[in-house]
Amino acid sequence: MPELMTRSERLHPEVRALLEMMDAQGAPPLETQDPVEARSARLEPMKLLGGQPDELGRVEDLTAPGPAGDIPLRLYASEPGGLRTALVYFHGGGFVFGNLDTHDAVCRAIAKESGAVVVSVDYRLSPEHKFPAAVDDSYAATVWVAANAERLGIDKHRIAVGGDSAGGNLATVIAMRCRDAGGPALAAQVLIYPVTDVSTFETGSHRELAEGYFLTRAGMEWFTGHYLASVDQKRHPEASPLLAPNLSGLPPALVITAEFDPLRDEGEAYAQRLKQAGVPVTVSRYPGMIHGFVSMRGVLAGGRQAIQEAAQFTRSMKG
């Protein structure tokens, strides 16, 4: 029988080369940095890994009223005119970093591939603004987009929420808030390697992939420590949606995970709970990929493929 491939051999060659380059640069571990320092150091690399931004017919910076002042938004559409499917997008970055610019290329790509209007939300970051500030901003932005759908060129019956990593967490929570508040009605959720449980980092993927694959267990502890105001919030369903008692009545979901991501198992466990609650779910695990691969679309073909899948899902959702 042929020998089983080692874990390193199962990494996609592009991912292996990227990890080797990152190791060679010798950046200090995330958990040794203060948040402001980490935020600044990652801004340009995140933009570079995102690749060349697509040209679109319509890109607008807007604001929505929020609980603590205006929330910056950026609207993307491949071309003006008509009422289109929409995706309200929450960026990743562990609730500590990321902004409209770090995810500009990703949002442009989804808008171009899907033909949908994508609205990126610049929610407040931790640790300056602890949980649930990011949730409150994301919900307020979603409500505002739905209320202003026609003016924004959006079909109000076909609005989805989505995001990557921390943004995937926010998308799950906003879907639950909208359900519990009786609206706005959402047509779908696009969850890209979402954070679904910060109460424990003891899943198989957290243990097996604790270090050496970009996102580390120590990094997750650092993010969570900055995001939450107290330890008891770890089990709050708006921090750990996997622990929410009721997932029924939520919109159909696409859940994208990566084989070499510590968050893989909790993302797939959330998808399984959605299925058990009667929610239509598509789960796509990308072999050989690591956490953040969609935001690395400029250097990883897998990231570009996942964006195409997310775009197709967004395009095909029904109101």
Amino acid 3: pLDDT: 39
> Quick check: 279 pLDDT over 50?
yes
Q: What is the pLDDT of residues 102-129, one digit of tens each?
A: 999 999 999 999 999 999 999 999 999 9
Q: What is the pLDDT of residues 222-266, one digit of tens each?
A: 999 999 999 999 999 999 999 999 999 999 999 999 999 999 999
Task: Please count the CA atoms within 13 angstroms of the CA of 164 that sit on its side-chain side.
Answer: 27
What gap in Å lies between CA 51 and CA 30, rounded to an integer?
23
Asked whether the beta carbons of 58 and 79 are under 8 A apart, the reply is: yes
Amino acid 19: pLDDT: 95
What gap in Å lies between CA 287 and CA 10, rounded to an integer?
8
Amino acid 311: pLDDT: 98
Amino acid 54: pLDDT: 97
Is 7-316 a CATH 3.40.50.1820 domain?
Answer: yes
Please identify which of the residues 12, 91, 226, 291 carries the catalytic annotation: 291
> Quick check: 94 pLDDT over 50?
yes
> Quick check: 1 pLDDT over 90?
no
- 255 Cβ neighbours under 8 A, 6+ residues apart: 191, 194, 267, 268, 270, 271, 274, 281, 282, 283, 284
Whether residue 261 lies in the annotated active site: yes
Amino acid 6: pLDDT: 67
pLDDT grade for 214, boundaries at 50, 70 and 90 = very high
> Quick check: 2 pLDDT over 50?
no
What does residue 4 show for φ and ψ, rounded to 5 degrees?
-65, 140
Please identify which of the residues 104, 137, 197, 261 carries the catalytic annotation: 261
Please identify which of the residues 78, 126, 165, 240 carries the catalytic annotation: 165
> Quick check: 4 pLDDT over 60?
no
Retrieve residue 317's tokens.
């959702």
248 CB neighbour count, 10 Å cutoff: 10
Amino acid 153: pLDDT: 97
What does residue 250 show for φ and ψ, rounded to 5 degrees?
-90, 160
Retrieve residue 31's tokens.
């958990």
Whether residue 291 lies in the annotated active site: yes
Mean pLDDT calculated for residue range 58-66: 98
Asked whether the beta carbons of 235 and 279 are under 8 A apart, the reply is: no
What separation in angstroms does the CA of 14 have from each of 21, 54, 137, 186, 194? 11, 22, 36, 36, 23
Retrieve residue 288's tokens.
């050989």
Q: What is the pLDDT of residues 150-186, one digit of tens each?
A: 999 999 999 999 999 999 999 999 999 999 999 999 9
pLDDT grade for 287, boundaries at 50, 70 and 90 = very high
Mean pLDDT over all residues of the chain? 95
Amino acid 42: pLDDT: 85
